[in-house]
Structure 1
Amino acid sequence: MEKWAFVSDFDGTISKKDFYWQVIDNYFPEGRELYTKWKNGEWNDIDFLAKVFASINRKEEQITEDILSIPVDEDVPDFVRRVQQAGGDFYILSAGTDYYIRPIVNYLGLEQVTVFSNKGVFRDQNIQLEIDPNHWSYSERYGIDKAAVIRRLKEEYDIVYFAGDSEPDSHPAELADRTYATGALPDILDEKSVSYVRFRRFNDIAADLAAEGRLPK
């Protein structure tokens, strides 16, 4: 029997809104100019996120409230459970931070979901990133090297599926056995000549896996 896993990005893939936009919209309007500089290549991804997350200046209770208000694809809880019931393992792989991902996973009632992400802690009324440059998955640009995580998972699993929506996801997409792409990712993968299956919501992925026989219909 094949051992398989489904790995998903979080922001813009599981969630419908990136957490950094939640912060910029609510507390850090200056972040819009910083966002432009980031997209122009003047800032590394992880430096941009660290600056935004360190610009909240609110009590932890307010931050938690903001986290749990992030809209999530309504299909996700059922999809995760279907994967697990079919014998697959579900992972979240994010270049954001586990500080906001884990509370949402718990809020959705999901169990046995492993999160690979940058470590975040609440300190001085902000989210501070604690990144270890000696960690096996360290990336100077993203904090976490998503491709390195997929490589390690492929040593453990016969089949690894991946879903993502943006540029950081293009690197693991090249290694996954099948990639599901949404948002900006399809155009990026087209430029790289990397194959993918386009999706809009997780029910689309479930239907594809069911047609393959990976999930029960």
Structure 2
Amino acid sequence: MLGDFVFISDFDGTITKKDFYWHIIDMYLEKEGNDKYKKWQRGEMKDIDFLSYIFKNIGQDEEQIYKDIIKMKIDPYLKDFIDFIHSKNGDFIVLSAGTRYYIDILFEHLSLQDITVYSNKAVYKDKGIHFDIDPTDKFYSERYGIDKKKVVKYLKSKYNKTFYAGDSMPDYEPSLLCDERFATNKLISIFKEKGVNFHSFNSFKDIEYILKKRELKDEI
């Protein structure tokens, strides 16, 4: 039996105010991190290779990395929004091309429990965070580690309706598979350029407001 609906959200720059890689670059890798960022933006590095370089070169012990992770700021309305989704018989799922390593730590620190997360596996070693990616995984992507489109296709087979929230280009194609899209930051201009229907938002509170208006028309 199909579930009622699922709300899928990107993590970095959507749930958080700042991408984790910028969090690390600004603290520890200002010159080389910005150089790698420019190469990545020019298309000279794959997304997974750029992130791998930043994460594995943090140069701090595990305790310090933990302290750095829990400093990350998230949308303060996230928990209320998740509760709202659950109250309407929906599921809330995080889909990230970053890594569960920092997502799980931050969610646990904030007492955000029982949230399903699809993301790349990673481990701490040699003073950094190292990806542990299985090329045989059904959601594998050579470019991103995890293929968001494959995950969304899978979730569409489990739910009657799908919603997606994201902030950048890696969210563009997977979001097109969903019934409705919500965009912040760079994804807004991408959708406008491509002529895609979407709702812009600054906070999950904005999305809840839109869905509540829809609810009055029995359309969620």
TM-score by length of structure 2 reads: 0.94
**Do the aligned residues in 2 keep the contact of 1:138 with 1:144 (CA within 8 Å)?**
yes
Which structure 2 segments of 5+ residues have no match? none
Distance 1:190 1:87 in 2: 31
Q: Which residue number in structure 1 is paired with residue 27 of structure 2?
A: 26
TM-score, scaled to structure 1: 0.95
2:4 and 2:185 map into 1 onto residues whose CA distance is 29
Amino acid paired to 1:78: D
Do the aligned partners of 1:173 and 1:194 also contact (CA within 8 Å) in 2?
Answer: no
Query: 1:12 — aligned with what?
Result: 13
- CA RMSD in angstroms comes to 1.5
The answer (yes or no) to whether the contact 2:14–2:184 under 8 Å persists in 1 is yes
Structure 2 residue corresponding to 1:210, chosen from 206, 212, 219: 212
Aligned to 1:49: 51
Aligned equivalent of 1:134: 136
* 1:23-62 Cα distance to aligned partner (Å, 9 max, x none): 1111112100110110111100000000000111111110
Residue correspondence of structure 1 range 15-164 to structure 2 within 5 A: 15-29=16-30, 30-164=32-166
Task: Determine if contact 2:169/2:187 at 8 Å carries over to the other structure.
Answer: yes
User: Equivalents in 2 of 1:146, 1:189: separation in Å?
Assistant: 17
For the residue of structure 1 that corresponds to 2:36, the secondary structure is helix
CA distance in structure 2 between the partners assigned to 1:63 and 1:122 by the alignment: 9
Q: In structure 2, what is the Cα distance between the partners aligned to 1:177 and 1:106?
A: 30
Contact kept, 8 Å, 2:3 with 2:90, in 1: the verdict is no
Displacement, 1:108?
2.2
Residues 77, 108 of structure 1: 8 Å contact kept: no
